[in-house]
Amino acid sequence: MSSASNLGRLYLASNNLSGNIPDSISNVSKLRVLDLEGNSFFGLIPDTLGNLRFLEILSLRSNHLTTKTSTHEWSFLNSLANCKHLKILDLSFNPLNGILPISISNLSTSLQQLRVIDCKIRGNIPMEIGSLSNAILLDLSSNKLSGPIPTAIRRLKNLQLLNLYGNKLQGSVPHDLCGLKGLYKLSLGANELDGPLPTCLCELTSLRYLYLFSNKLHSQIPLTFWSLKDILEVDLSSNNLRGSLPLDIGNLKVLISLNLSRNLLSSDIPSTIGSLHDLLVLNLSKNRLQGPIPKSLGDLISLKSLDLSNNNLSGVIPKSLENLYELNYFNVSFNRLQGEIPRGGPFLNFTAKSFMKNYALCGSPRLQVSPCKNKIHRKFKKIALHALRYVLPTFASIIIVVTVIIVYKKWQRGNMNLAMDKDLIPLKKWRRISYNQLLQGTGGFSRNNLLGSGSFGSVYKGILSDGTELAIKVFNLQIDGAFKSFDVECEVMSNILHRNLVKIITCCSTIDFKALVLEFMPKGSLEKWLYSYNYVLDILQRINVMIDVALALEYLHLGHPIPIIHCDLKPSNVLLDEDMVAHVGDFGIAKLLGEGDSIKQTMTLATIGYMAPVSKEGGDFGCYKSNLKREQRWLACCTHRSSHLVGGGGGGGGGVQI
């Protein structure tokens, strides 16, 4: 390994390698990325890893590595304290055993992601965890950790994802979590937590995913909880939560999954639940709910799964549920329902298991319920026969024709609505916006709302009925490459999350219409600010823009599990929000370097005058011919000029990928 002292990145993932990790790996002193994931390495993690002082990413995931069980300290963790640039550390799926040592506080304050999943560690989470002040992801799930969640967690102000699922943690859900204002996902399920739900959870305005299932929580759900208007998934199942569901549940407009099963909830199901139009999964089973099934559930046109079983619900099954054409799972068994089971829509596919132990229900014999008795028909049979004898044939014909026309029109309208609904392909975890909403919000894609045009289509400004401002990128499907560009942008943008990347809200795709719905950037593109005399950027703003773009590229290249190459970075693809924060967008020709792919690299050494400056010391060589022009455009950020081509570039560590 000493002959590769200039190596910058070493990827050996999933190569069936075995044996001990050699100490000689520390001779590669300039190594920044070391990925040994998915092999069969065993033995101790070498302390010599601490000699890799420039190390930024270390992944030892999915091997058979262990530690000395006779001590409470992991010696390799102490040595990693020398790696002052370490940002990502993944030790998951190794039988490390022992306890999580307090020496975790020695890790670099630059650490952003720490994953120690299913490593058979036990004991308490040390208070020293609070020293990782720049962490944005902490995943200690599927271990044997016990004791309370430490109050020091409040010091992780930048934390976006906290996963402690599948441990034996005790005590209450700490109020300290409410200070993590940037928290995006909180998973504390399958532990032994008790006490009430903190009322301050409503302060986590960035929260999108909340999983507290399979604990011992015992309180009412705080009324303030229902003010988390941007939350997408909530799972509070298998606890001892009591009380009623308030009308405020209708505030969660973008909710796609709600699981409150296996609790002690009582009273009626509020009718406002029908306003959750994006809801895909609703599970209220095994509670003490009573009263009727609200007719408003028929408004949940996106619903795929509905479970109301094992409650005390009464009354009839609303016929409005026949409108739920996407519904493929339905269970109202073990209630006190009565009347006829609806016959249309999704009810054609349900079996007897959906209606068990509701003795007053009636309907088709295949559902194993009693046949319905038509009392009205028997009562008026003779009167109807007598009346029909005197009905004028002409009048009867008119009635029949009118009825057929009305039924046909309704059937036609229903099919059109169904076809329109099926044309939409919403991303599971994002907001559903219909084509009609886009059409209305842009004034019929009016030129007055046109923000700009590109190689594959146009971008329009849109305003929804609730006042939300959006940018709608409509692809011109007549242009070669538009379909591929749409697919690439969907694949890339659905898997990235960073403050300096343009956020996708949803997408709309039909045979002849494809569009991306994006976050609206009111300050426009960087190109406008650089090359127009009507807009001026001071030196601090220019520096901030360059930092923002650099952070976005660092995330795409190194911070994402699958490296992404933008391939079209230029000022017109950098957008500015209200606070002049830069966001990189337009991934239409981006490249994903997935498993089996490799970055095109070279280790050329020759006369400096005969090669690009990037090869000076032997380095990465994955640039496109347009890079010099792009360097010129970025130089404009500081000089406000755009007419001269500028060279440059520097050497760096090389790379090997197997």
Question: Measured between alpha carbons, how far is 594 from 589 in angstroms, rounded to an integer?
Answer: 15
Q: Is residue 416 part of a domain?
A: yes
Positive or negative, the CA dihedral 497, 503, 506, 512 is: negative
Query: Which region holds residue 68: left if phi is over 0, alpha if psi is between -120 and 50, else beta?
Result: beta
**pLDDT attached to residue 229:** 94
- Please write the tens of the pLDDT for every residue from 590-628: 665 654 444 333 233 332 222 233 333 333 333 333 443
pLDDT surpasses 60 at 63? yes
φ, ψ of residue 267 to 5 degrees: the values are 75, -170
| Better pLDDT: 399 or 651 | 399
pLDDT surpasses 80 at 144? yes
**108 touches 132 (CB < 8 A):** no
Q: Is residue 543 part of a domain?
A: no
Mean pLDDT over 102-112 rounds to 89
| Catalytic residue annotation | 568
Residue 400 CB burial class (10 angstroms; 0-12, 13-18, ≥19): exposed
**57 touches 87 (CB < 8 A):** yes
Q: Is residue 594 part of a domain?
A: no
Question: Measured between alpha carbons, how far is 430 from 569 in angstroms, rounded to an integer?
Answer: 26
Mean pLDDT over 69-74 rounds to 64
**pLDDT attached to residue 220:** 94
**pLDDT attached to residue 536:** 86
Among the ranges 357-371, 430-444, 501-515, 627-641, which has the highest mean pLDDT value?
Answer: 357-371
**pLDDT attached to residue 567:** 82
pLDDT more than 90, % of the chain = 52
Q: Count structural domains, the chain.
A: 1
**pLDDT attached to residue 635:** 47
Q: Tell me the residue range of the domain where 400 lies.
A: 381-423
**pLDDT attached to residue 631:** 43
- Please write the tens of the pLDDT for every residue from 520-554: 999 888 988 888 778 888 899 899 999 999 998 98
Place of tokens 């065993």: 42
Question: Measured between alpha carbons, how far is 282 from 604 in angstroms, rounded to an integer?
Answer: 60
Question: Measured between alpha carbons, how far is 136 from 158 in angstroms, rounded to an integer?
Answer: 5
**pLDDT attached to residue 425:** 38
pLDDT more than 70, % of the chain = 81
- Please write the tens of the pLDDT for every residue from 233-254: 999 999 999 999 999 999 999 9
Residue 198 CB burial class (10 angstroms; 0-12, 13-18, ≥19): buried
Q: Is residue 402 part of a domain?
A: yes
Residue 433 has which token pair?
A: 């916006």
Mean pLDDT over 484-495 rounds to 79
Q: Is residue 392 part of a domain?
A: yes
Q: Is residue 419 part of a domain?
A: yes
**pLDDT attached to residue 435:** 84
Q: Is residue 400 part of a domain?
A: yes
Question: Measured between alpha carbons, how far is 646 from 638 in angstroms, rounded to an integer?
Answer: 13
φ, ψ of residue 501 to 5 degrees: the values are -120, 140
* Binding-site annotation, residues for ATP: 473
